[in-house]
Amino acid sequence: MSNTFWTNDPYILFNKNYIFDIWPSSKMTYAEKLNSISRLILVITIVGFVGTSSIRILVVGLVTLIAIYLLHRFHNSKENFSVEGNNVYDLVPTRHSDKVNPSTELSQIVQQEFKEGNKKNPFSNVLLTQINDEPNRLAAPPAFNPNIETKITKDVKKAVQFMNPEINNTDKQLFDSLWDNFTLDNSNRVFYSTPNTRVANDQGAYAKFLYGNMPSAKGSTMEDNIQREKDNYRYTLY
């Protein structure tokens, strides 16, 4: 499978491994679906032009391809990507590199760079068992992203079903109407991912941020004596 969109590599439309993919399926990635639709548009445009010799067919095909490109661009920007020229940057900082492949899906970034929630821990907070079992666990994904927020809601629904196995078909009985889902969203407001979702935070960086090279009045050097005498509030006794 290839996640490359045809604007980044036009030859992907004519690649022998994908040339017969002219109809999108649920197994395809978002980029592959757009590529397959683009191939179908090209086939229809060529066949229509050969059969009718109408320039209008070519114009309609070109406009459709432009619309597909704009749809792909909008989809990337919606998934927290910023585009600068031919480079695409992820607005969510990663551990390895600030640059990501233009065709990288948000779900792949979340799986690689964050600790996803589940029905037992929808907000992916640090559990007591993880302190010993997963001391190097990743941080929770950013809940402000619409896709992450949707997944959290789905995990909460799974948690309700998991904790209430005697209720059959909870999606219909508990979350079937718009009002039920609105009530669920209101209930979720009191829950959140904590500011630190790692087992151990960076205490050294935090201390440096607070104190840095702040002089101490506790020592016996000339600089320490000066700090004591000039009543400087920017020193620490520790």
Q: Which domain holds residue 175?
A: 115-188
Q: Please choose, from the candidates 138, 136, 112, the residue with its C-alpha nearest in 3D space to the C-alpha of residue 125.
A: 138
Model pLDDT, residue 26: 79
Same domain, 184 and 221: no
Query: Which of residues 2 and 194 earns the better pLDDT score?
Result: 194
Same domain, 84 and 131: no
Global pTM value: 0.43
Tens of pLDDT, residue by residue over 200-228, are 776 777 788 777 776 666 667 777 667 66
Domain count, the chain: 3
Asked whether residue 209 falls in the same domain as residue 153, the answer is no
Within a domain: 38: yes
Q: Is 36 within the bounds of a domain?
A: yes
Q: Are residues 183 and 206 in the same domain?
A: no
Does residue 98 lie within any of the structural domains?
Answer: no
| Dihedral class, residue 232 (left if φ above 0, else alpha if ψ from -120 to 50, else beta) | beta
Region 184-199 average pLDDT: 86
Residue 103 lies in a domain: no
pLDDT in tens, 46-91: 988 888 888 888 898 889 888 888 888 887 665 554 444 444 444 4
Say whether both 84 and 137 belong to one domain.
no
Considering the domain architecture, whether residues 154 and 217 belong to the same structural domain is answered as: no
Residue 193 is assigned to a structural domain of this protein: no
User: Considering 36, 56, 90, which residue would you say is the last residue of a domain?
Assistant: 90
Q: Indicate the pLDDT class of residue 161, thresholds 50, 70 and 90.
A: confident
- Let me know whether 18 and 79 are in one domain: yes
Give the model's pLDDT for residue 143: 85
Is residue 172 a part of any domain in this protein?
Answer: yes
